[in-house]
Amino acid sequence: MKLKKNKAGLDARGQKLINDLTRKFMGSDVALRLLPNNGIMINGLETTIVGESIGKASSKGFVLSFSGDEIDKNRLRFTTVTLTAGVGDKKRIVTKKLERTKKSDGKYVCSAKFSGIYIPEAPSQSKQERLESIIAGTQNQFVFRLTPSYEGEKECEVMITLYPYESVLTGASTLYKKVTSNSNYYADSLKK
């Protein structure tokens, strides 16, 4: 069986070997990544955000936070977030309150701290294996479910940040999502 090669001329086994060697000799921090999706957050409707471990393991946990102009103006709020971490008998479901706090620059952030959640080491996978594991849901994924409460009339954008306590600067991931108060957003977009 002939394996498909990537642009660099490596097959899946070759890419896995390079990933393993890089991790072994260069080291790796605890790092998280937010997986992008094209959905918009709609006022009053539950939304899902997915993160995953892409580095070393850590028992120190992580923080999920939201920031932006509408958070500052208190027109975009989140009350609780439910995290599902792990799979099978290691699956954990935790609900936390999202707290709005003032930062040193005078702006606000809405965040939840998951200090007791274990971050597993990211598996070394080829792109195909990674795609299959994302679809199936794996132990290194974190699924967040929350419902926005948005009072603004126009669409806004919120910055979502996921960072591990152990490597706040180098292990953080950010994602921007749009938010709307129009509950008929998708139906209205089809009319255009």
Every domain of the chain and the residues it spans: 28-191
Q: In the Cβ-directed half-sphere of 97, how many Cα atoms lie within 13 Å?
A: 3
Architecture per CATH, domain 28-191, reads as Sandwich (2.60)
Rounded average pLDDT over 122-150: 75
Q: How are the residues of the chain apportioned to helix, strand and coil, as percentages rounded to the nearest 5?
A: 20, 40, 40
Residue 59: name the closest of 178, 183, 190, 164 by CA. Answer: 164
User: What is the CA angle 162-167-173, rounded to 5?
Assistant: 30
* pTM, 2 dp: 0.78
More confident of the two residues 59 and 123: 59
Residue 45 in this model has a pLDDT that exceeds 60:
yes
